[in-house]
């Protein structure tokens, strides 16, 4: 199969499996989504969703967030890991949103990526899921699967994102990146993937990828 043929197969099969894809992180608006995505770095969505109710009951907007100290934020989010860095980022970006953006989350990649602790992947998630702007956020799960499927040979998520955008239609990016994440969790985990379960890799996976499988 060519990459284009593989891409179409992926699109067709994932649409059958996941015609509707909810945003995995619980949130009520762009600000709470931004905070949840920031917390999800090296942490599962499930754990983030257990922590954010406690945080958002205290502060679900930048005005209330800056009333808390960095230490108070750190104690609440500690189970998510990297709490010293994340708590400083949350407090710092809240101050900047109030000072520069009237308390609103900006709707541009450039402005988002200027915020503390906000990288390109976080900005991409917010732009796609909060504002509907076409983006293809690539996390480690998507990076692994697109290599496994022969869509990319990217050495990092930046290269993988570029390759994904070349083969998948722009109008599908926002939904497709979520579909791939859901598929990876359910059918193609990083550890001990099962040959009989991961039908996409069985069909289009690279030779190297197929050697990973427990058959």
Contacts of 44 (CB under 8 A, 6+ apart): none
Q: What is the pLDDT of residue 203?
A: 94
Dist CA 73 CA 55 (whole Å) = 7
Helix 45-58 to helix 70-77 angle, to the nearest 10 degrees? 140
Is residue 215 a part of any domain in this protein?
no
Catalytic pick from 6, 121, 163, 198? Answer: 121
Domain containing residue 53: CATH number = 1.10.340.30
Q: Residues 71-91, buried b or exposed e (16+ Cβ, 10 A)?
A: eebbebbeebebbeebbebbb
Q: What is the pLDDT of residues 83-139, one digit of tens each?
A: 999 999 999 999 999 999 999 999 999 999 999 999 999 999 999 999 999 999 998
Domain of 103, in residue numbers: 30-131
Based on the residue annotation, tell me whether 165 is a catalytic residue of this protein.
no
Catalytic site residue from 139, 163, 194, 210? 139
pLDDT digits (tens, 9 = 90+) for 35-83: 999 999 999 999 999 999 999 999 999 999 999 999 999 999 999 999 9
Structural domain count, the chain: 2
Closest among 170, 190, 188 to 180, alpha carbons compared:
188
Indicate the pTM of the whole model. 0.91
**What is the C-alpha separation between 34 and 147, in angstroms, rounded?**
28
Told to judge if 139 belongs to the known catalytic residues of this protein, a careful annotator would answer yes
């Amino acid at each position: 199969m060519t990459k284009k043929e593989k891409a179409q197969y992926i699109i067709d099969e994932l649409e059958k499996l996941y015609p509707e894809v909810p945003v995995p992180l619980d949130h009520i608006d762009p600000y709470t989504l931004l905070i949840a995505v920031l917390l999800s770095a090296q942490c599962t969505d499930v754990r983030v969703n257990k922590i954010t109710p406690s945080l958002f009951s205290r502060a679900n907007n930048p005005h209330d967030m800056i009333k808390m100290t960095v230490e108070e934020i750190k104690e609440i989010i500690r189970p998510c890991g990297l709490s010293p860095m994340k708590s400083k980022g949350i407090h710092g970006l809240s101050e900047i949103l109030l000072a520069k953006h009237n308390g609103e989350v900006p709707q541009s990649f450039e402005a988002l990526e200027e915020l503390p602790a906000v990288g390109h992947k976080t900005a991409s998630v917010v732009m796609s899921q909060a504002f509907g702007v076409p983006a293809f956020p690539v996390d480690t799960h998507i990076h692994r699967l697109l290599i496994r499927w022969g869509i990319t040979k990217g050495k990092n998520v930046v290269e993988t994102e570029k390759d994904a955008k070349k083969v998948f239609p722009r109008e599908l990016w926002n939904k497709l990146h979520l579909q791939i994440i859901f598929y990876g969790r359910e059918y193609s985990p990083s550890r001990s993937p099962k040959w009989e379960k991961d039908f996409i890799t069985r069909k289009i996976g690279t030779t190297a990828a197929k050697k990973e499988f427990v058959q």
